[in-house]
Amino acid sequence: MFDLAASDPRHQRVRGRAAVSFGAGGRLEGLAQAGSAKVMLPRMHGRAPEVVFLNTAGGLTGGDRLDYALDLAGGRAVGTTQTAERAYRSAGGAAEVRTRLRLGPGAVLHWLPQELILFEGAALDRSLEVEMAEDATMVMLETIVLGRAAMGETVSRLHLRDRRRVMRGGRPALIEGVFLGDADLARDGAAGLCGARAVASLSLVAADAADRLVSVRDALPREGPVRAAASAWEGRLTARFMAAEAWPLRRAVARAVSALTGMPLPRVWQI
């Protein structure tokens, strides 16, 4: 494990915050952005509003801090990112990304960010906090890619701490923690990543989650370069994906997202 000491103060660091809020009728009520964190709200022409977050710094490294927030009092919305986020080699310390989502009564939010690409020596602490009403619906996607296989890159040194917590009606509905370090990348077989360099987790928290399991399973690949499986229980559905390369996984995830939501993918996605 490499040193996560405080960042060198002589290096310029990224600071950014972007927050968007919609009222119960789906009308935009608040938008704030500072530093390198920005928001785009493309015209959707009859579709649910899309909130596109982006980091104009072009990537993350040790000592950077980004905060994103999306508040949906009611209605429907889609949250995504303009492109894949990239975490580069850290010269000291970990980058931090905090995302907070809030769903009011009856709200439906599809949180579908594009991939997080981790390069050799990256250090990142990331968290996603969701507070949702009992009758709200939350679709959540997280995709992690280790380097760029097309460029012959491999990742052997890494620090990733990724935490996701969903509270539904004031009670825990989904809590996950992912930690990847140097030793994890070196492990073979099931104790490691089974040779995978791209992994994804697609989750639904909703009263009818179990009813959608069959359609999601029908959309999963049964053979080929992507391994995937799905299960549902107590108002939650989760599908997991893993592959040796990012592009086949991205396509498999896209099919599963469409089957789960019954809606087109975010416009900024390239499939």
Is 226 within 8 Å of 243 (Cβ atoms)?
yes
Residue segments in the chain with a per-residue pLDDT below the cut of 50: 1, 5-8
Residue with tokens 């490294």: 61
How far, in Å, CA of 177 to CA of 125, rounded?
11
User: What is the pLDDT, as a whole number, of residue 191?
Assistant: 60
User: What is the pLDDT, as a whole number, of residue 1?
Assistant: 47
How far, in Å, CA of 35 to CA of 113, rounded?
20
User: What is the pLDDT, as a whole number, of residue 151?
Assistant: 64
Residue 153 one-letter amino acid: E
User: What is the pLDDT, as a whole number, of residue 183?
Assistant: 83
Query: Which strand ranges, in their side-by-side order, compose the sheet holding 158-168?
Result: 28-35, 15-22, 65-72, 95-103, 122-132, 158-168, 171-180
Q: Domain residue spans in the chain? A: 15-261
Give this prediction's pTM: 0.92
User: What is the pLDDT, as a whole number, of residue 6?
Assistant: 47
